[in-house]
Amino acid sequence: MSDAVEEMGPVDYLVVEFPGNRMTGEGLPLLVDLVDRGIIRLLDLVFVRKDEDGSVSVVELADLGEEVDLSVFSGVSSGLMGQEDIDEAGAVLEPGNSAALVIYENVWAAPLAQALRRSGAQLVAGGRVPVQALLASLEAAEATPPGSGPAAA
């Protein structure tokens, strides 16, 4: 394993769908802030569009229109994302929508990841709790009076 990879934090990806190809750019300053503060490092950023006939195409930043300034992301490409990844992302999109495909390093977690690697630890599972599941669980917990749950039996 190369030294550069040994020093990296965990790497994640996101596929963010924009219904009706409507990108407002509201989240972009927040993404830039995460990068500027060293919390994440963008490795790849690709925009795709799924036409009504189901065909998926990559959209160049310059073709996204002037209402959203994406020039700060020009050239963000590590080569990790390939055509197969674009095809898989396109398969989950609804026709008539677009998406941003993002691969990023969690720079904030790099020191922890390095320490774990040095000790021989390895990640064997990972995941993300969907917000809807979290909210449902919290609502259920609030609706259950103290002392009446399964542990009280």
Give per-residue pLDDT as tens, 19-75: 987 877 788 889 989 999 999 999 999 989 999 999 999 987 666 656 566 677 777
Domain ranges for the chain, please list them. Answer: 3-144
Q: Is the pLDDT of residue 17 over 70?
A: yes
Q: Where are the beta strands (DSSP E) in 34-150?
A: 40-50, 56-59, 98-106
Measured distance CA(69)–CA(28) in Å, rounded: 9
Measured distance CA(33)–CA(39) in Å, rounded: 9
Measured distance CA(123)–CA(16) in Å, rounded: 25
Chain mean pLDDT for the chain: 86
Q: Looking at residue 114, what is its pLDDT?
A: 93
Torsions phi, psi for 145 (to 5 deg)? -65, 145
Q: Looking at residue 3, what is its pLDDT?
A: 72
pTM metric for this prediction = 0.78
